[in-house]
Structure 1
Amino acid sequence: MSYGLIHSCVKEWVLNNYGKDKWKDILDISGADDEQTFLNFQCYPDKATLDFIVIVVKHLEISLEYFLEGVGMHFVDFTIEKGYGEMLHTLGRTFHAFLDNLDYLHCYLMTTAFPGIVMPSFACTEDDEDPDVLFVDYYSRREGLEALAIGALRGCAKNFYNLSVRFEVMWTKAEKINETEVVNHVRFKVTQVGQIDSPTLDLVTMERAKSAHDEVTSFPAVDQLLELVWRTPTFNYENVERFKNLVFQFAVEPRRTAAALEREKDKTDRLLHSMLPPEVAHKLKSGDRVQRRASTAPPVGELSLLFSDIVTFTVIASRCQPHQIVQLLNEMYTRFDDATESNGVYKVETIGDAYMVVGGIPSRVPDHATRVVSQAIDMVRLAQEVAHPITGAPVQIRVGIHTGPAVAGVVGQKMPRYCLFGDTVNVASRMESHGVPGRIHLSADCKRKLDEERGPFAVEPRGGIEIKGKGHMETFFVASVGNSEAGGEPEGGTSASNGAAGGSVRQKESSVCRLQ
């Protein structure tokens, strides 16, 4: 396709060089309409344009090459008259720079004033031996129009750089650019033969540095995500090198991109849900500022809250290297985290060796006490799979659980956290700190809730004890689960009759370094 701008340029060239009578004869022979056939911004098929050119050349009795070169030179004057001169002149300070940037102009015109137009491509290199010589590679899907390109480039050199240049065709060949299309490749030798009114042409003579990209032959990541829409050569290194000044335009391939975006969204969601409850994360993503309501939110209702800590952790921390502590906690907490998924509870946070779990929020469930006690039993068992970094024996933990009301919400704007507030948090912490190694210590409220849920746990009374900040409280231990014991032998020789539940202790080497 070509625009009527070319036909108007042909008309002006004929009128300027051969007069009105010749032009009228050409119209009569071709059957063209002087008013309708030459609308500047109307598209015409290439065949219609070429057929008209054949009539012009035949009637004027001139060669096709003479006609094309003359029209090419006049086309520059024609575009200047139409107001495009300043835009063309800004392409480069020198003729070499102009040639290097010509493809960018074609890309701009194709996407703005002349959509759908098929433009040629140009690439320019220097002659290492003669600074007045340039080699210009011209690529076009239209065969036999190199004389038109010569005329246009000569016109640009004259009008914008006051430069007289000579063109020699070095060779012409057809090159395959994809599975179905062939492009006509012509190499010109362009020699500066004089200046009309300007300094010597400032040619760039720097040799292109060899790049690591010279070995690249394909671009798989680009091919997978994007579709080349302009131009149509196969997107490989050979064509990128061939059309080095060409702007390649890509369109996002909807299905593949949608799938890739969905995978990335899943990754982001998994990361977000590892830090915030999914229900809370959805609210935040939808613009519901949960943290604004945390301080005024009504109690979320009854929930069960668990705290645990590592027995003798202070001694371990004082006698181990920091990286050993990190390895110890990572080994144990990774196991605990997996257990929260199977038990349907939510990990609130870890602070040092303290691990905090809640059941009943953010998802409301009726059996939250049973779920949290199941988590506690798993934690006691899983802790024994990690070796004590000092003694080599299985690690023991204390666990405390309390059931009661609390306030929950997201606090902070940077690194927001889902937090619980209320006396239930304090009591659960006291259950843990007043507990016994290897045992699961329950408040009376938690036992009551377990009874209501008819869970599979045997619970034994511990008796009344003084709890800091709360006074005298009746508390309980989890004794067994069905026919299985619920814990291991407590550290320091505490007997199984004192409530240490559980199966056999598996002493296995941990990746945590033992002290010698």
Structure 2
Amino acid sequence: MKVFGNLSFGNMEKTLGYKERSGFENGKENIVNHYYSDTDTYVLVDSVSLVLKVTKDQVWEMYGGFLITYSMEIGWDELVRSMSPNLKGFLDNLDSLHYFIDHVVYKANLRGPSFRCEENPDGTLLLHYFTGRPGLYHIVKGVVKEVAKLVFNLDINLVVQGRTQRSVHMNNGERVEEHVIFLIKNVEEPRRDSDASGISLLTSTRPDFSEITDDSLRMSLQDFSKALPYHFVIDESCKLVHCGEELYNHIPLELLQPGTPILRIFEINRPQIPLDFENICNFINAVFVLQVKTSPLKKKHMDAMSKEERQQEVDAMEEDDRSNEFTQGCHLKLKGQMMMLSTKKHIIYLCSPYVTSINELMQFGMRLTAMPLHDATRDLILLNQQRLTDVEVNLQLEANNEQLETMTRELEAERRKTDSILKDMLPRKIAQQLLSGEHIEPCEYEATVMFCDLPAFQQIIPVCQPKNIVTLLNEVFFKLDRIVVLRGVYKVETVSDSYMTVSGIPDYSSQHAETMCHVALGMMWEARSVMDPVNKTPFLLRIGMHSGTIIAGVVGTKMPRYCLFGETVTLASQMESLGLAGKIQCSKWTYQKAMETGRFEFAPRGRIAVKGRGDVETYFLTRSLKKSIWEITDHERDVNVNSIEGYEELETSIENAQENKRKPDQTNSAACVIA
């Protein structure tokens, strides 16, 4: 995060440390127009405090200083420097700056603090800080110190003179408000000369108009009401004394009579304080937003009543301030400044309609001519139309970016699934070449091809339900697939109950025949754990193998397959079809190749007639002399039950299954039950 880099918080390891401790995701800490909850902020500050071994108050103060530095770096520099020629003027206008950035620029509508500055006779300042989020006053110290240094070239010292908290009752409930008083002193003389060297950088000199008594400067109440058509004046009891003429178009006449409590006319939106004289004085520098309680529809309805009926309606509204009418329709809002008059007993509210767009203007039934020519609200409405368009475009872009990121993640997940499926359909090396866009040339290999099937499968089909047949094949092939993956050979395809694999392609291995023999023994062992639902005996595979030269290449584009061609494939298929259930039949070429690199026990079967090849010498593979069944299948051996090699159990189970199939009462069973 940039904040910690600018504050010299240490190296990247510390940065990663507090982010990890806080639970922040990389790349998501700088989202524009996003409100981060106070909980996330507090967790982050706690983490920084622990990692850097400093107090939380120090972290908050450093954050306040960085807040000004960062704000000036991203484009607010000229605005901050142009606010006031001295520090007091800056602090007096801090509320309005905060309101503008928060409510006008970013539309965040956060619950901001309020500031009031007083000048002491000795040249020091008292800064009053009011907030509904207690404990964050150290941020103010960092902000004010950094502004004094960067903008006014002053070294100042802030000392907390007092800190109190009180419970405030609001319309939306009760909240705690904290009041902190800072004493601000100038530590040393300014480090640079100022053009206005005769004026203090902490405070400014105000002209004295007390001796001006020319009656020609006076203006009538009627002229004042026209010049400031939306203003009103209240006394110490917060009762109406005088108001501008334009308010009569939005508020019933009976409510605008002198002496009417202001709370009967307006609801305060900002700052979030009770609307009384003391609180208004405390927040005198804040931007006040008041909302008329009477909607335009209600105003129009009351205008149509007689005087007596209007008075009755006003009395009814006074008796029920909680009327739901306030929450319905469109109520005019006023935004402006509370100013204490010289009598110190009256406050004037200088304001304008809080209208920022053409749509809001039309909702209140107003036109631009309702705004005085000297009021900048006209320009604000017109300029804000373009700003709103830009904001909408930016928000839409952010939404589109977020959607694109989501779609990219989903697309990447689907791509990984597609790649995974392709790598399962083709040898991994070939699949990788296809994904890289390379052309796959057909090649000639020396390999060992194996076919196996379930001889009893054709007897099962007539007496089993389709879903049971699929479940049965899935169980058998799942176990065979496990051996294929474990021994590192390639599964070519399955057709019905026939299963085809090859060893030695596309990466050549001199041990291709030895590896395939181990695969055959492992498959034979795994198949015995699945029961024939008709004969109630373990399944016996019929396996055939042959080694020789084959042609291999990718065929097809929509569903590419890695296909094998040649006499080796044909002869391997014949070894399987001419074999016996429970036996692994190999040609002499596989026998010779397997014995070159491995040690096996074969039983000669003799010569059998093979179509197109005449009589071919064949062998039955019975066991491996290098690996036990437990090593081949990666199963743990039960030392109390199983033999060391496991081949005795394999031979016994095959013999028992063959014996049970020869029994007359088992041959024509029509029952098919799959557990």
TM-score by length of 2: 0.39
The aligned amino acid for 1:479 is T
Per-residue CA deviation, residues 357-399 of structure 1 (Å, 9 max, x unaligned), is 1110122211000100110011111110000011111011100
Which of these residues, 91, 107, 119, is aligned with residue 105 of structure 2? 119
Correspondence 1:201-240 to 2 at 5 A: 201=362
* Distance in 2 (alpha carbons) for counterparts of 1:174 and 1:307: 82
- 1:294-350: per-residue Cα shift (whole Å, max 9, x none)? xxx231x21001000001211111211111111111111111111112222111111
Structure 1 segment 468-507 matched on structure 2, within 5 A: 468-482=611-625, 484-485=647-648, 487=651, 488-489=653-654, 493=658
Question: For the structure 1 residues 308 and 187, does the alpha-carbon distance in structure 2 shift closer, same or farther, using more than 3 Å as the test?
Answer: farther
CA distance in 2, matches of 1:334, 1:165: 82
Look up the SS of the partner of 1:480 in the other structure: strand
Between the aligned partners of 1:274 and 1:457, the Cα distance in structure 2 is: 31
Please give the secondary structure, in 2, of the residue aligned with 1:314.
helix
Q: 1:44 aligns with which of 54, 58, 77?
A: 77
Does 2:572 correspond to 1:428? yes
1:514 counterpart = 2:657 = no
State the SS of the aligned residue for 1:401.
strand
Q: 1:439 to 1:466 in 2, by over 3 A?
A: same
What whole-Å deviation, never above 9, does each CA across 1:125-182 have from its counterpart, x for those lacking one?
A: xxxxxxxxxxxxx5587969xxxxxxxxx9xxxxxxxxx997966222479xxxxxxx
CA distance in 2, matches of 1:369, 1:334: 23
Q: What is the aligned counterpart of 1:278 among 416, 428, 433?
A: 428
Q: Provide Cα deviations, 1:413-465, integer angstroms capped at 9, x if missing partner.
A: 22222221111111111110000110001012111211222x22111221111
Aligned partners of 1:458 and 1:481 also within 8 Å: yes
CA deviation after TM superposition for structure 1 residue 470, in Å:
2.8
User: Quick one: higher RCO (CA 8 Å, sep 6+), 1 or 2?
Assistant: 1
Q: C-alpha distance in 1, partners of 2:614/2:489?
A: 30
Q: Report the AA paired with residue 453 of structure 2.
A: D
Separation in 2, partners of 1:403, 1:416: 25
2:364 matches 1:364: no
Alignment CA distance shift 1:492-1:43 (3 Å)? closer
Partners of 1:460 and 1:333 in 2: how far apart? 27
Residue 340 (1) aligns with residue 470 (2)? no
Q: Are 2:471 and 1:327 equivalent residues in the alignment? A: yes
Q: Residue 42 of structure 1: CA displacement?
A: 7.0
Cα deviations by residue, 1:265-316 (Å, 9 ceiling, x for unpaired): 87665444322221111101111133xx3xxx231x2100100000121111
Q: Report if aligned partners of 2:527, 2:539 keep a CA contact under 8 Å in 1.
A: yes
8 Å Cα contact 1:303/1:360 also seen in 2: yes
Q: What is the alpha-carbon distance in structure 2 between the residues aligned to residue 494 and residue 366 of structure 1?
A: 39
Q: What is the deviation of 1:56? A: 11
8 Å CA contact 1:400–1:435 kept in 2: the answer is yes
Tell me if structure 2 keeps the 8 A contact 1:431–1:443. Answer: yes
Conservation of the 8 A alpha-carbon contact between 2:555 and 2:561 = yes
Report SS of the residue matched to 2:82.
helix
Distance 2:454 2:465 in 1: 17
**Residue among 547, 555, 558 paired with 1:411:** 555
> How far off is 1:471 after superposition?
2.4
Q: Matched residues in 2 for 1:404 and 1:50: separation?
A: 90
2:269 to 171, 181, 189: 171
Determine the C-alpha separation between the residues in 1 that align with 2:547 and 2:568: 7
Which of 428, 438, 441 pairs up with 2:585? 441
Partners of 2:291 and 2:331 within 8 A in 1: no
CA separation of 1:515 and 1:277: change in aligned 2, threshold 3 A: closer
Contact 2:554/2:560 (<8 A) preserved: yes
Q: Which moved more, 1:398-407 or 1:263-272?
A: 263-272
Q: CA deviation at 1:249?
A: 4.8
Matches within 5 A, 1:58-457: 119-121=105-107, 138-139=109-110, 170-173=268-271, 188=291, 191=331, 201=362, 249=398, 270-290=420-440, 293=441, 297-299=442-444, 301-453=445-597, 455-457=598-600
Contact 1:143 1:184 survives alignment (8 Å): no
Distance 2:520 2:287 in 1: 76
What is the percent sequence identity of the aligned residues?
32
Q: Say if 1:469 and 1:321 are closer, same or farther in 2 by CA, change over 3 A.
A: farther
| TM-score where L is the length of structure 1 | 0.50
Distance verdict in 2 for CA 1:310–1:187, change over 3 Å:
farther
Report SS of the residue matched to 1:388: coil
Q: Deviation of residue 44 (structure 1)?
A: 2.8
Give the AA of the match of 2:77.
Answer: Y
Instruction: Write the letter of the residue equivalent to 1:489.
Output: I
Partner Cα separation in structure 2 for residue 411 and residue 143 of structure 1: 76
Alpha carbons of 1:283 and 1:333: their partners in 2 closer, same or farther (altered >3 Å)? same
* CA distance in 2 between partners of 1:282 and 1:468 (Å): 39
Q: Distance in 2 between matches of 1:269 and 1:493?
A: 43
Number of residues of Structure 1 aligned to a counterpart in Structure 2:
313
SS in 2 for 1:337: helix
Cα distance in 2 for partners of 1:185, 1:382 equals 82
Aligned mates of 1:260, 1:246 — CA distance in 2 = 22
Once the two structures are superposed, what CA deviation does each residue of 1:475-515 show, in whole Å capped at 9, x if it has no partner? 111133337356443588479xxxxxxxxxxxxxxxx9618
Name the SS of the counterpart of 1:171 in structure 2: strand
Offset at 1:468? 2.5
- Residues 360 and 515 of structure 1, relative CA distance in 2, 3 Å threshold: closer
Q: Structure 1: state its 5+ residue gaps.
A: 1-40, 58-62, 73-105, 107-116, 123-137, 145-153, 155-163, 176-182, 204-242, 253-257, 496-511
Q: Distance in 1 between matches of 2:398 and 2:86?
A: 32
Question: In the TM superposition, what is the alpha-carbon distance from 1:247 to its structure 2 partner?
Answer: 6.9
**Residue 174 to residue 359, structure 1, CA distance change in 2 (3 Å):** farther
Contact 1:400 1:432 in 2 (8 A): yes
SS at match of 1:288: coil
Whole-Å separation in 2 of the counterparts to 1:429 and 1:202: 84
Per the alignment, residue 35 of structure 1 pairs with none
CA contact (8 A) 2:609 2:616 kept: yes
Q: C-alpha distance in 2, partners of 1:434/1:375?
A: 20
